[in-house]
Structure 1
Amino acid sequence: MNISAIWIKRPIMTILVMFGILFFGINSYVDLPINNLPAVDFPTIMVSASLPGASPETMASNVAKPLEKQFSTIQGLSSMSSQSYTGSTSVILQFGLDRNIDACAQDVSSKIAAAQGDLPTNLPSPPTYEKVNPSDQPILYFALTSDTMPLTQLNDYAENYLAQNFSMVNGVSQVITYGQKFAARIQVNPRLLAKQGIGIDDVERAVKAANVNLPGGTLDGAFQAFTIDSNGQLTIGEAYRDVIISYKDGMPVRVRDVGDAVSGVEKDKQMAAWYSTREKTRRAIVLAVKKQPGSNTVLVSEGVKKLVPRLKAMVPESVEWHLLYDASDYIEESIQDVQFTLVLTIIVVLFVVFIFLRSLRSTLIPNVAVPLSIIGTFAVMSVVGFSLNNLSMMALVLCVGLVVDDAIVVLENIVRRMEMGESATEASFEGSREIGFTIMSMTLSLVVVFIPILFMPGIIGKLFHEFAVCIAAAIMISGFISVTLTPMMCSRVLKGFHERKEGWFYTLTERGFKATIEFYGRTLRWVLEHRRIALAVTVLVLVVSGFLFMKIPKGFLPTQDQNFMMAWVQAADKISYDDMIRHQSELNELVKAEPDVKDFISIASINSYNSGIVFVMLKSLKDRRRSVDEIVADLRPRLNSVPGLLVFPQNPPPIQIGAGNALAEYQFTLQGSDLTSLYRYAGIVEERMGRLKGLADVNSDVKLNLPKLYINVDRDKASALGLTLDQIQNTFFSAYASRKVSTIYGKLNQYAVILEVQPQFKEDPGALSYLYVKSTANKLVPIGTVSTIEETVGPVTVNHTGQLNSATIAFNLIPGHSVGEAVSETTRIAKEANLPESIVTGFQGSAQEFEKSFSGMGFLLFVTVLVIYMVLGILYESFIHPITILTALPLAACGALLTLWVFGMELDMYGMVGIIMLIGIAKKNGIMMVDFALEEERTRGLSSEESIYQACLIRFRPIMMTTMAALFGTLPIALGIGAGGDARQPMGVAVVGGLFLSQIMTLYITPVFYVYFDELNRWLGKRSGKKEKTI
């Protein structure tokens, strides 16, 4: 059966089908979204709760625990962790990748409602939740500054105008504001309160009564209706100074008589942000824009930026806009570079084909398959909802050398028959029929290589899903084109082939090709006569491959140079807010002094008093000599020279894995029920990890030096004086917890009215003695009368993982060291620490995914080889011949590993996928050899040795053409050209190295194994025949 015959006979049908592929592919390309990497949607929900003034232990036990107990029963929950700070708790719930995020949100909402009865009654508001995706980092960072406008007013413009409008852009999921929201702050003097005989709870009631926002109703007359309103609200802080608290001797006692009322900010000890260039540093309000999963990053960014001119007209001219970071810049540059690499690869492959065929007409035929296959793949990508990203585009670049192979094999066979005297039409019919089975074998066996990738579990499976489908689709389309369009074009374009005049180039190269084939024929004959040497070489290659696999450092996902870096900042636990501001200002000057820094945003006290973060935009890679990783390494010691600060700079990973707030990229977690034992062993492990040469920024979230005042209330004495614990606790809450006692309802936003003592009464523990509590008998009782104060220390945070207390040690890697080394060394340290059985350990985030990925990689490779063997066994109806074809695989793997080792590269996920690709590419040579050898045995009755010898000589030219096309097609990726090229490079290096070595060795090793296995097959046949006679 010749499936190509109908396509050769009906050229118009063939042309129209190809036009359809071209038309739909181009239309699909225009509409494909553009992103950096494929969308990896982690169904993650973050639940937040606050109780101002509560200690981390209180938040953990009273808030986090009840919530965790309820959440643990949700179906499909894969991990749960919580972090409790002073006054706040966040619980992060990560679900299986197969769960729908909206269904998860409904489950979480119902569990929050179920936990309400176990939560503190004085929570300002019920716990809230939001759907988050850790892999989706902000795509835009804006900074707003003004030399004349207060930060609170600037924050109003940011929240009420900019964030609201940005949120309406199609594809935007969230706009985060890092700013200073306005609040009215009632600040009382405890001494003056006592002098006037007023309790702080009296102030609270007076403020609530003075600021009301209730509807007044309407008057509905015979001819006119009126809406009733009043001046029930006090909208600025200073207006609260005249609020009457009580009367004494007939005279009103106002707020200004016992303190002050000012216009301030809601979180006065948190979130101080700066925007800095090399010339100037100013306080700022920062906006971070996040996109929806699967949306087009470039279009979303363009949509937001188009709004900026219109929004500028809505704010005063004194407001200055600064676009610090735009993810679409790197994505567009990276995609353009990959597109350039794609065009360059097509040109290189076209040139390689021309060198072998030495005819422009002949060269045109297989190269038509390249654009058609790639453009057709765009239509497949559109149907299945893929995007143009670095991985899908890289797949298409790698395809160039593969999709031309089938057409080359068909063309070469047709040309060979024409050289034997057949006409173009006759050669097209017979040549396509003769090679049809080979094409089917090559195409199907190459496609099935990528099936196991589709079923890879976890994040890596999601990440490389598009990569595998794109390559498989392009190969299937190219296989279809090679048996339809290619023979049809050969029958038309190659007419007059016999009458062509050979030029000097053809004559010169033909001599070279003939000399090469003759040399190969002599050396192959020698190898076939000395087969044991080839067998020994194969064993040696296997040993070397195993050695190299153990020797080469293992990596995960390589970092990319996106002209961007960040640094987490941590200060001493005892630091005050004002001191943190001073320290981070010093840090800002050091960052500003770095010559490769363009501008940056710095935020102090982002999570707690002693934490901060710096987002740094670097100059373009063209304008600097150092990579991001080199700049990070150079800055690390300088930034850590600020006394009292620990700074953890890093090049952010291409995809964020894990939802925690770790200060470094990789995390190692210890879990246990006994806090004392857990913290002690966490310190031991952290200290030993800090001594490892390959690790940097080793730090633990166990911080136990937060100064605390423990108030020991004498309950009997308090009761005798008419005081309850509730009254005492509420007094402390109102005095020191920035208690929200009322709300100002503005036209576009709501603002808090906060009650507290004046700042000078928060500076020293001795000021607690000035605090009075009003008893049930309406008398003021000094707090010192019923309590004693003890100074102690406690944890800055209390963390849980899976309802157990946990301690996480985070670390970054020093350039030149791999995550594989770090994981094995950390595991060794944990074992040597002799941890008690009650403490369990495990990696989190990227390190955990690395463990999962590499632990299953051996099985994945086995499944890949098994699937290929099964397909080949089905096609050849043989158990033996597929093994002959697969002998090329260890040779290709050895070449890939050897090349990576020589160039000092890690075997990361890209490299592993490259090796999986090699499994599919390398066995093509074996298919072409074995297929023709079997044909020679059947038709001419040759021996196995002679048939494989003749097959190798006949198929030498297409083998060289297909391998060289694949090798040179991958070379641009191996060179690491363009933005993000350094991340793609290991895959290209692995493929090029593997192809180079396997090309040389399979030309000799595969024929040897063909002879050996044929002898084995004959021996088994004789044994089987004897048994049948016996029976």
Structure 2
Amino acid sequence: MFSQFFINRPKFALVIAIIMLLVGAISLPLLPVESMPDITPPTVSVTTSFPGADAETVEQSVAIPIESEVNGVDDMIYMSSKSGSDGSLALTVTFEIGTDIDNATVLTQNRVGIADPKLPEDVKRQGVKVEKQSTAMVAAISLFSPDKTYDELFISNYIATRLYDEIIRTNGVGSVTVFGAKDFSMRIWMDPEQLKARKLTPDDVIAAIKQQNVQVAGGMIGAPPNSGGLNFQYNVLVQGRLTTVEQFENIIIKTGDKGDVLYLKEVAKVELGAEAYHWYAESRGSPAITMGIYQTPGSNALAVMDAVTELMDNAAEGFPDGLEYEVVLDTTEYIQASIDEVIETLIIAICLVIFVVFIFLQDWRTTIIPAITIPVSLIATFAVMLMLGMSINNLTLFGLVLVIGIVVDDAIIVVENTVRLMEENSWDSKTAITEAMMEITGPVVATTAVLLAVFVPTLMMPGLTGMLYQQFALTISIATIFSSINALTLSPALCRLLLKPSSGKKKWIAFRAFDKVFDVGTSGYMAMVKGMLRKSGFVMIVFSGLLVATYYSIISLPGGFLPDEDQGYFFINAQLPDGASLERTKDVLTRVDKMIEGLEGVDKYVIIGGYSLLDGVASTNAGLGIVTLKNWSERQAPSLYIKNIMGKLQQQMVTIEEAILFSFLPPPITGLGSSAGFTFELQERGGLGLTQLQTFANDMVAAGNESPKLTRMNQGLRAS
């Protein structure tokens, strides 16, 4: 008999249990922590810019050449591109789940390199960036000047020079997007009248700037071979790229036959400004340049946020007076809160199980055996989770909560059968446990096999739903296997060491009272069963009725992938008419800013003008709001539930007639889409053009919004 070895050598069983505990405990802090399992397909982004080009030009001259080469790269599922009116292109290539993202990035880079000769020269100079895309935003951090000492230009470049590189180097940070960024740039405003009077064209000015604003090697003086007799050798230092307004103003555009010189300042205005003014970020009326921090796949979100927070705290000590930072959005707060809730439930479940076992077995020695085997089985599970690339998330923790009842059953079977044999035959613990294990080894193994037969098929479920619940099923299966192993090794050893023959003493009065109540309940239950057996036909009719009622209840309930939850924050989308200027957008968002500021339950927020989160492109007629609410403990009143707060804000925003404004929740799984609800793509294959495609999309949105089952349906295509 397998268990006999451990009955004879209980210390060996204890050593195995200790090793299981140690390995599991060491593995636990190494597991990634996230809200839900990572089921987001790996993606690679290809980004570039065509300065001065409109969206259609970008599509025709940049997007199509790149897409034609990238299409068909190994393991690709699909790709989508977005061309912005600011000349930007963002191509996202989505790969099969499980694809090596580093290898996919290299393959995509190779394909983009093939398309390089077909791209415009301005795009080549800008460069095409290919990188693995991080879709899970961990935080949004704003830098602002409360007393408005510094403008957005200073703040943006402070981030670029002092913070960006340090944050991007932080372990677990995949990428950083600076919303409202305004990088320093030398802006040259040419005067058409002056150019015409001097018979010049803009190309002449551009050529002169390119020719004189260069970095060249000056060479050396006295380097061999030389004529000899030289005692020193010098490097020639020449002026490199121009850096000041004065240097640019003195660029020579043209020289005359008589030695006259035409400088740039005579035909143009030169100023140090921002590279682009197509977006901005504000909070409470003050510039608030905001960094979106994205984590790398498989990293620990809590550890990433802790590292970024520590970095920002240290950096803040060196901030100039009048500059501060604020964590506008911290998605790990919801992750931590949800995991804390499940851990609390797990602890309560363990305590309740041990309490129930004690009440029924009525002996501390018999109770301590399942109390030991439960943590051994659960903690050892973490080691296998780490080996299989799993994470600590709500579903794996839910699995541990559920499996507690299964884990304790195996130990109770061993203990109960051993105690019964000791009482009936007056045996010592070794004899009793030996006989008990001969009786129950088969049932324990069979029970484990049955349980695995229930949960293992979940691993084979297709689609995202199957992938979502794989870790749930694996957690239960692993813990069940460890429970069975402990029932055959650790539990027999503990029974031999801890169990003693009954002393025959009278039970404690509380136990006697419980036994009487339990006996009465058992007698009542048996009487009810006998009555039901006499009226089995009626019972079957009632049972069939319950089955029918259950069926209709199931089909009447709304279905969905995952429920929308209060994650402590929401977004606002603003859409003005096509072609609306950034000034008009800012006027609308300023009014929204004041509405949010006066809203009860709001903690922090930031407004970003010129960018749409839903569309993923910069556009002067779009806007985004990130609103973080107060802690859940401060929002216990129903009026402060997130959907009620969003409803109050929506009632105010509908009074703004110049734009379409609505709030929306983040997706239940971070990185899987940009909002809650669902998204689908409308593809035009008949060569009708973007204008006709937009018409069809608008018709679908209008029809969808008329349905009582849909709300706030929108589409992001702007053909104009």
Give me the TM-score of the superposition, normalised by structure 2: 0.90
**Alignment CA distance shift 1:223-1:589 (3 Å):** farther
Q: CA deviation at 1:132?
A: 0.8
Instruction: Choose which of 193, 202, 211 in structure 2 pairs with 1:209.
Output: 211
Query: 1:282 corresponds to which letter in structure 2?
Result: S
Matched ranges for 1:421-460 at <5 A? 421-425=425-429, 426-460=431-465
Query: 1:689 corresponds to which letter in structure 2?
Result: G
Correspondence 1:564 to 2:593:
no
> Which range moved further: 123-132 or 289-298?
123-132
Describe the superposition over 1:982-1007 as per-residue Cα deviations: whole angstroms up to 9, x where unpaired: xxxxxxxxxxxxxxxxxxxxxxxxxx
The 1-side partners of 2:52 and 2:677 are apart by 31
**Alignment CA distance shift 1:552-1:498 (3 Å):** farther
User: Which residue of structure 2 lines up, in the alignment, with residue 1012 of structure 1?
Assistant: none
**Alignment CA distance shift 1:591-1:248 (3 Å):** farther
User: Which residue of structure 2 lines up, in the alignment, with residue 375 of structure 1?
Assistant: 379
Correspondence 1:307 to 2:311:
yes
Matched ranges for 1:256-275 at <5 A? 256-268=265-277, 270-275=278-283
Correspondence 1:416 to 2:420:
yes
User: Which residue of structure 2 lines up, in the alignment, with residue 357 of structure 1?
Assistant: 361
Instruction: Choose which of 311, 324, 346 in structure 1 pairs with 2:350.
Output: 346
Work out whether residues 423 and 501 of structure 2, in 8 Å CA contact, stay in contact via their aligned partners in 1. no
Correspondence 1:696 to 2:704:
no
Correspondence 1:612 to 2:623:
yes
User: Which residue of structure 2 lines up, in the alignment, with residue 682 of structure 1?
Assistant: 697
User: Which residue of structure 1 lines up, in the alignment, with residue 327 of structure 2?
Assistant: 323
Query: 2:192 corresponds to which letter in structure 1?
Result: P
Work out whether residues 602 and 615 of structure 1, in 8 Å CA contact, stay in contact via their aligned partners in 2. yes
Query: 2:697 corresponds to which letter in structure 1?
Result: A
User: Which residue of structure 2 lines up, in the alignment, with residue 233 of structure 1?
Assistant: 241
Query: 1:331 corresponds to which letter in structure 2?
Result: I
Q: CA deviation at 1:508?
A: 1.8
User: Which residue of structure 2 lines up, in the alignment, with residue 401 of structure 1?
Assistant: 405
**Alignment CA distance shift 1:363-1:500 (3 Å):** farther
> Which range moved further: 381-390 or 201-210?
381-390
Work out whether residues 239 and 261 of structure 1, in 8 Å CA contact, stay in contact via their aligned partners in 2. no
SS at match of 2:159: helix
Work out whether residues 81 and 90 of structure 2, in 8 Å CA contact, stay in contact via their aligned partners in 1. yes
**Alignment CA distance shift 1:424-1:693 (3 Å):** farther
The 1-side partners of 2:408 and 2:433 are apart by 18
SS at match of 2:98: coil
User: Which residue of structure 1 lines up, in the alignment, with residue 264 of structure 2?
Assistant: 255
Instruction: Choose which of 619, 628, 648 in structure 1 pairs with 2:642.
Output: 628
**Alignment CA distance shift 1:602-1:122 (3 Å):** same
**Alignment CA distance shift 1:9-1:241 (3 Å):** same
User: Which residue of structure 1 lines up, in the alignment, with residue 227 of structure 2?
Assistant: none
Correspondence 1:170 to 2:143:
no
Q: CA deviation at 1:187?
A: 0.3
Work out whether residues 144 and 286 of structure 2, in 8 Å CA contact, stay in contact via their aligned partners in 1. no
Q: CA deviation at 1:689?
A: 0.9
**Alignment CA distance shift 1:10-1:439 (3 Å):** same
Describe the superposition over 1:320-370 as per-residue Cα deviations: whole angstroms up to 9, x where unpaired: 222223333333333333322221111111222223223333222222221
SS at match of 1:610: strand
Matched ranges for 1:24-103 at <5 A? 24-86=23-85, 87-103=87-103
Q: CA deviation at 1:620?
A: 0.8
The 1-side partners of 2:436 and 2:536 are apart by 33
User: Which residue of structure 1 lines up, in the alignment, with residue 492 of structure 2?
Assistant: 487
Query: 1:284 corresponds to which letter in structure 2?
Result: A
Larger radius of gyration: 1
Matched ranges for 1:6-21 at <5 A? 6-21=5-20
SS at match of 1:652: coil
Q: CA deviation at 1:283?
A: 0.6
Instruction: Choose which of 182, 188, 194 in structure 2 pairs with 1:192.
Output: 194
**Alignment CA distance shift 1:168-1:243 (3 Å):** same
Work out whether residues 665 and 676 of structure 2, in 8 Å CA contact, stay in contact via their aligned partners in 1. no
Work out whether residues 51 and 122 of structure 2, in 8 Å CA contact, stay in contact via their aligned partners in 1. no
Describe the superposition over 1:823-875 as per-residue Cα deviations: whole angstroms up to 9, x where unpaired: xxxxxxxxxxxxxxxxxxxxxxxxxxxxxxxxxxxxxxxxxxxxxxxxxxxxx
Matched ranges for 1:938-953 at <5 A? none
SS at match of 1:185: strand
**Alignment CA distance shift 1:656-1:347 (3 Å):** closer
**Alignment CA distance shift 1:576-1:189 (3 Å):** same
Q: CA deviation at 1:671?
A: 2.0
User: Which residue of structure 2 lines up, in the alignment, with residue 652 of structure 1?
Assistant: 666
Q: CA deviation at 1:266?
A: 0.4
Query: 1:198 corresponds to which letter in structure 2?
Result: L
Matched ranges for 1:931-970 at <5 A? none
User: Which residue of structure 2 lines up, in the alignment, with residue 180 of structure 1?
Assistant: 182
Q: CA deviation at 1:412?
A: 2.6
Q: CA deviation at 1:547?
A: 1.7
The 2-side partners of 1:7 and 1:155 are apart by 67
Correspondence 1:506 to 2:511:
yes
Q: CA deviation at 1:22?
A: 2.2
The 2-side partners of 1:547 and 1:88 are apart by 52
**Alignment CA distance shift 1:274-1:171 (3 Å):** same
**Alignment CA distance shift 1:439-1:230 (3 Å):** same
User: Which residue of structure 1 lines up, in the alignment, with residue 682 of structure 2?
Assistant: 670
The 2-side partners of 1:462 and 1:144 are apart by 42
User: Which residue of structure 2 lines up, in the alignment, with residue 119 of structure 1?
Assistant: 119
Work out whether residues 454 and 464 of structure 1, in 8 Å CA contact, stay in contact via their aligned partners in 2. yes
Matched ranges for 1:777-926 at <5 A? 795-796=719-720
Work out whether residues 185 and 275 of structure 2, in 8 Å CA contact, stay in contact via their aligned partners in 1. yes
Q: CA deviation at 1:110?
A: 2.2
Describe the superposition over 1:746-773 as per-residue Cα deviations: whole angstroms up to 9, x where unpaired: xxxxxxxxxxxxxxxxxxxxxxxxxxxx
Describe the superposition over 1:871-910 as per-residue Cα deviations: whole angstroms up to 9, x where unpaired: xxxxxxxxxxxxxxxxxxxxxxxxxxxxxxxxxxxxxxxx
- Percent identity reads 29
Q: How large is the RMSD of aligned CA atoms in angstroms?
A: 2.6
**Alignment CA distance shift 1:467-1:319 (3 Å):** same
Work out whether residues 76 and 96 of structure 2, in 8 Å CA contact, stay in contact via their aligned partners in 1. yes
Ranges in structure 2 where 5+ consecutive residues have no aligned partner:
224-229, 612-617
Work out whether residues 424 and 495 of structure 1, in 8 Å CA contact, stay in contact via their aligned partners in 2. yes
**Alignment CA distance shift 1:143-1:640 (3 Å):** farther
Ranges in structure 1 where 5+ consecutive residues have no aligned partner:
704-794, 797-1031
**Alignment CA distance shift 1:671-1:389 (3 Å):** same
SS at match of 1:143: strand
**Alignment CA distance shift 1:248-1:225 (3 Å):** closer
Work out whether residues 667 and 676 of structure 2, in 8 Å CA contact, stay in contact via their aligned partners in 1. no
Describe the superposition over 1:406-439 as per-residue Cα deviations: whole angstroms up to 9, x where unpaired: 2122323333344434425343232332222222
User: Which residue of structure 2 lines up, in the alignment, with residue 139 of structure 1?
Assistant: 139
Work out whether residues 581 and 620 of structure 2, in 8 Å CA contact, stay in contact via their aligned partners in 1. yes
The 1-side partners of 2:257 and 2:97 are apart by 70
User: Which residue of structure 1 lines up, in the alignment, with residue 615 of structure 2?
Assistant: none
Describe the superposition over 1:58-81 as per-residue Cα deviations: whole angstroms up to 9, x where unpaired: 322332223222222223221222
The 1-side partners of 2:21 and 2:481 are apart by 15
User: Which residue of structure 2 lines up, in the alignment, with residue 332 of structure 1?
Assistant: 336
**Alignment CA distance shift 1:165-1:224 (3 Å):** farther
The 2-side partners of 1:152 and 1:186 are apart by 17
Describe the superposition over 1:455-482 as per-residue Cα deviations: whole angstroms up to 9, x where unpaired: 3334334433332222211111112222
Matched ranges for 1:271-282 at <5 A? 271-276=279-284, 281-282=285-286
Q: CA deviation at 1:652?
A: 0.8
Work out whether residues 143 and 324 of structure 1, in 8 Å CA contact, stay in contact via their aligned partners in 2. no
> Which range moved further: 388-397 or 87-96?
388-397
Query: 1:273 corresponds to which letter in structure 2?
Result: A
The 2-side partners of 1:30 and 1:700 are apart by 43
Work out whether residues 561 and 628 of structure 1, in 8 Å CA contact, stay in contact via their aligned partners in 2. yes
Query: 1:611 corresponds to which letter in structure 2?
Result: A
SS at match of 1:207: helix
User: Which residue of structure 1 lines up, in the alignment, with residue 153 of structure 2?
Assistant: 152
